């Protein structure tokens, strides 16, 4: 017959074995969870869609940057992916104007400014028509007062696409994952294809570049 001491010793031994097994299960499970976290895709946070956006007329509005009022307030938004030429010349933008002119094959400053004005007019016309959507991550442009955004027109085309298609901007600024989940580089490649077609067709600034090349 087992003594009380022997029973107690066996119970302690069984308890120790149970604790050891439990620890091994916990560690194994934690390792698996760590692997899952490591291999999981990193998704960018979903962009916020603004409610009831409308264009606000403002002297600083241009082809890629504009004031938008919405149910949550009013901010200045800047398009992802594209940069429209300046619409007027002054000291702070002269170097940028030169870069923009060079992008379109070395057109003149006057032609570059004209392209910027056409971009401004097209954007204003499209946004005044209403029924567009604005998505933003509330990411500031150079820590300033503007925020990057996507603008989608009633037919589903991005405003950035339309500006590229019309030869009124260069593909030259920050990109981001799109609201529909497309990666930034995928959309940028898409814009490059649209730009190649616009250049071949001689639209917008590309018409001026082609005329200059044939002189």
Average of pLDDT values for 147-175?
97
Tell whether the model's pLDDT for residue 27 goes beyond 60. no
Average of pLDDT values for 95-117?
97
The CATH number of the structural domain formed by 48-213 is 2.40.50.90
For residue range 179-198, what is the model confidence (pLDDT) as tens digits?
999 999 999 999 999 999 99
For residue range 129-155, what is the model confidence (pLDDT) as tens digits?
999 999 999 999 998 999 999 999 999
| More confident position, 170 or 22 | 170
Average of pLDDT values for 122-134?
97
Rounded to whole angstroms, how far apart are CA atoms 149 and 64?
10
| More confident position, 70 or 10 | 70
pLDDT value at residue 210: 67
pLDDT value at residue 25: 45
10 Å CB burial of residue 77 (0-12, 13-18, 19+) is: buried
Percentage, residues of the chain above pLDDT 90: 74
């Amino acid at each position: 017959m087992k003594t009380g001491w022997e029973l107690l010793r066996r119970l302690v031994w069984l308890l120790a074995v149970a604790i050891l097994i439990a620890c091994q299960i916990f560690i194994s499970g934690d390792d698996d969870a760590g692997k899952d976290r490591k291999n999981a895709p990193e998704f960018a946070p979903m962009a916020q869609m603004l409610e009831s956006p409308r264009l606000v007329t403002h002297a600083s509005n241009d082809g890629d940057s504009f004031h938008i009022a919405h149910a949550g307030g009013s901010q200045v938004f800047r398009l992802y992916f594209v940069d429209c030429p300046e619409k007027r010349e002054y000291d702070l933008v002269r170097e940028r104007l030169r870069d923009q002119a060079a992008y379109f094959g070395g057109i003149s400053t006057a032609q570059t400014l004209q392209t910027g004005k056409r971009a401004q007019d097209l954007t204003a016309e499209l946004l005044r028509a209403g029924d567009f959507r604005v998505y933003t991550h509330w990411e500031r442009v150079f820590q300033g007062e503007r925020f990057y955004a996507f603008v989608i027109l009633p037919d589903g085309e991005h405003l950035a696409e339309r500006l590229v298609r019309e030869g009124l901007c260069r593909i030259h600024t920050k990109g981001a994952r799109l609201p529909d989940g497309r990666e930034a580089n995928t959309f940028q490649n898409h814009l490059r294809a649209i730009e190649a077609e616009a250049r071949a067709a001689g639209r917008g600034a590309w018409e001026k570049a082609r005329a200059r090349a044939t002189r």
